[in-house]
């Protein structure tokens, strides 16, 4: 009989489901995880929530085959060490989404109607009715950053308040947004036009400190920011400064660490709670049920749809997964980060089509940093479905002799409004390389690091204008590729540079060179 150790405070339904299916279950939320691991070295599966599962703890359970995080985030688990030990790590994405969406509404209403302060003063025997003049949520403009599970549920929850919903999500298709009743806007427009901005984006290199003085400064006086996502996406010092100037309202549920002690935002948070977004009986029940059912499906049917640390299968080089990510990232940058692709098509040559499912997730990650790199086709498919994006792997003719290469095409719109970005690449001497972008062939450039792409009408002197702008700002050019589209009149200049390039510099390049397109991207 397989043993499952539930080392967290979780709804007992998980234990009940597992026991009914003839699993031995030990549930203990009081004992230290290290002690539990020592006491249960024969555990086949481990279920946790926010507990830290380190390499040392994993090594105490030599029979462990699967770890389930009853929730979405799995940053508290050493997934790499688990992989080396042959242990699969799962999460239960979406189980807590509604709880967080409802919490956002609760924070907005509690803040607008001064419920916490009103309760405190009334209990103290005061009667400060005039002091607590409130505001109504009905009819307000709400901006939502990130239209994943939580963002979409928040849209639904706000429907009854007759709110105008603005959305920023670089991946969701316009048709999906229209179905939701969301007006897609640029990041700047969301902050400029919203009475309330609710954050639902992950913390990553791209999003860390994204909510800064520039964006916050666009907000109307008295507007509200709600953060139930991740602490690091807001620049606290910038918020502190702009809040004082514009009297912004800030409601918060996330912190750098989930533990007792002073909080750095205490002076600027109008309402702050101890990361309780997912802390509902219903969410706990959902996560517990999902955790148990996933273990059973994993054992009895080999279902691995929520495994977040799957190994690369025999025959597929990790470099080709990296290539898929790079090509998608370049295609997205070339199409435009403000675009909303609604279709992805791939051509995988040299036998790579056999691994199409394994390449789907890095492609999705390349077009959206909002997607966790779990390298699982079912998760990627579900993510794209939520965003209203179709994904097609086209049949290929390997007799063309392209070798192990791939083409990734992104499409937006249709008919006269159709725009497309087509990028092809291969792995050369262990290095992922971009060989073609649209009609610009034989590029062979390494897309990692800082790059500037400029498309311009081919004529003498334009390249010099582009490089002179870069030089004017002290930016060093490490490499240049500048082929012409032999079927057209345009050339492309791809500059590998030594540091980041600001939007202002890109605008200057376009103005001085007359470029049709100029973009900067950084792939780390």
Residue 54 exposure: Cα atoms within 13 Å on the Cβ side: 5
514 and 480 in a common domain: yes
The pLDDT tens digits for 157-180 are: 999 999 999 999 988 999 999 999
* Mean pLDDT estimate for the chain: 92
Number of domains in the chain: 4
232 and 132 in a common domain: yes
The pLDDT tens digits for 338-384 are: 889 999 999 999 999 988 888 888 898 888 876 655 446 677 888 88
The pLDDT tens digits for 264-283 are: 999 999 999 999 998 999 99
CATH number at residue 237: 3.40.50.720
The pLDDT tens digits for 486-499 are: 788 899 999 999 99
Q: What is the value of pTM for the model shown?
A: 0.78
Q: Which residue has the tokens 């002091």?
A: 131
CATH number at residue 458: 3.30.70.260
Distance of CA 311 to CAs 85, 308, 321, Å? 11, 9, 12
- Give, in degrees to the nearest 5, the angle at Cα 390 between 388 and 392: 170
Residue 291, SS3?
A: helix
pLDDT of res. 254 = 95
The pLDDT tens digits for 299-308 are: 988 887 788 8
- Mark which of 447, 474, 501 sits at the end of a domain: 447
The DSSP line for 37-86 is HHH-TT-SEEEESS--B-HHHHHT-TT--EEEESSS--TTB-HHHHHHTT
In a domain, 21, yes or no: yes
In a domain, 307, yes or no: no
pLDDT > 70 in the chain, percent: 98
Q: Judging by DSSP bridges, how do beta strands 3-6 and 24-27 pair with one another?
A: parallel
Task: With beta carbons less than 8 A apart as the criterion, state whether 381 and 356 touch.
Answer: no
405 and 292 in a common domain: no
Q: What is the 3-state secondary structure (H, E, C) of 420-449?
A: EEEEEEEEECCEEEEEEECCEEEEEECCCE
d(CA 141, CA 138): 9
Using alpha carbons, select from 461, 344, 438 the residue that is nearest to residue 391: 344
pLDDT of res. 371 = 65
d(CA 141, CA 45): 46
Question: Roughly how many angstroms between the first and final C-alpha of the chain, as a whole number?
Answer: 46
Q: Which two tokens stand for residue 217?
A: 């400064």
């Amino acid at each position: 009989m397989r043993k499952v150790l539930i080392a967290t405070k979780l709804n007992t339904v998980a234990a009940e489901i597992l026991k009914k299916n003839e699993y031995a279950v030990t549930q203990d939320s009081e004992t230290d995880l290290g002690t539990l691991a020592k006491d249960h070295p024969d555990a086949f599966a481990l279920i946790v929530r926010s507990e830290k599962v380190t390499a040392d703890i994993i090594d105490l359970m030599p029979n462990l085959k699967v770890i389930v995080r009853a929730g979405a985030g799995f940053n508290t688990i050493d997934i790499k060490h688990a992989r080396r030990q042959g242990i699969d790590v799962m999460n239960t994405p979406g189980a807590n989404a509604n709880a967080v969406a409802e919490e956002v509404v609760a924070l907005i209403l509690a803040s607008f109607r001064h419920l916490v302060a009103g309760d405190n003063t009334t209990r103290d025997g005061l009667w400060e009715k005039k002091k607590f003049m409130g505001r109504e949520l009905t009819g307000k403009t709400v901006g939502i950053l990130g239209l994943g599970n939580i963002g979409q549920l928040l849209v639904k929850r706000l429907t009854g308040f007759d709110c105008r919903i603005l959305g920023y999500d670089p991946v969701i298709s316009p048709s999906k947004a229209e179905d939701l009743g969301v007006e897609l806007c640029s990041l700047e427009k969301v902050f400029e036009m919203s009475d309330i901005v609710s954050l639902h984006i992950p913390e990553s290199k791209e999003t860390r400190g994204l909510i800064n003085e520039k964006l916050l400064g666009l907000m109307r006086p008295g507007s509200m920011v709600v953060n139930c996502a991740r602490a690091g996406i807001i620049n606290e010092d910038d918020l502190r400064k702009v809040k004082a100037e514009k009297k912004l309202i800030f409601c918060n549920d996330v912190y750098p660490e989930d533990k007792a002690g002073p909080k750095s935002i205490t002076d600027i948070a109008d309402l702050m709670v101890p990361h309780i977004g997912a802390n509902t009986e219903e969410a706990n029940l959902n996560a517990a049920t999902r955790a148990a059912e996933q273990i059973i499906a994993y054992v009895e049917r080999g279902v691995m749809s929520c495994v977040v640390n799957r190994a690369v299968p025999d025959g597929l080089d990790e470099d080709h997964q990296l290539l898929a990510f790079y090509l998608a990232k370049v295609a997205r940058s070339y199409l435009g980060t403000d675009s909303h692709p609604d279709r992805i098509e791939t051509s995988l040559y040299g036998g790579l089509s056999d691994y199409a499912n394994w390449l789907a997730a890095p492609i999705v990650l390349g077009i959206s940093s909002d997607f966790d790199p779990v390298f699982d086709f079912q998760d990627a498919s579900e993510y794209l479905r939520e965003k209203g994006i179709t994904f097609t792997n086209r049949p290929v003719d390997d007799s063309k002799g392209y070798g192990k290469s791939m083409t990734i095409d992104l499409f937006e719109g249709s008919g006269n409004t159709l725009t497309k970005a087509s990028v092809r690449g291969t792995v050369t001497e262990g290095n992922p390389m971009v060989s073609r972008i649209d009609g610009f062939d034989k590029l062979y450039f390494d897309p990692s690091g800082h790059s500037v792409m400029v498309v311009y009408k081919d004529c003498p002197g334009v390249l010099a204008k582009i490089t002179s702008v870069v030089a004017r700002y002290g930016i060093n050019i490490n490499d240049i590729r500048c082929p012409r589209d032999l079927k057209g009149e345009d050339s492309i200049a791809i500059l590998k540079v030594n540091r980041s390039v600001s939007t202002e510099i890109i605008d200057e390049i376009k103005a001085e060179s007359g470029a049709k397109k100029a973009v900067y991207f950084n792939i780390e």
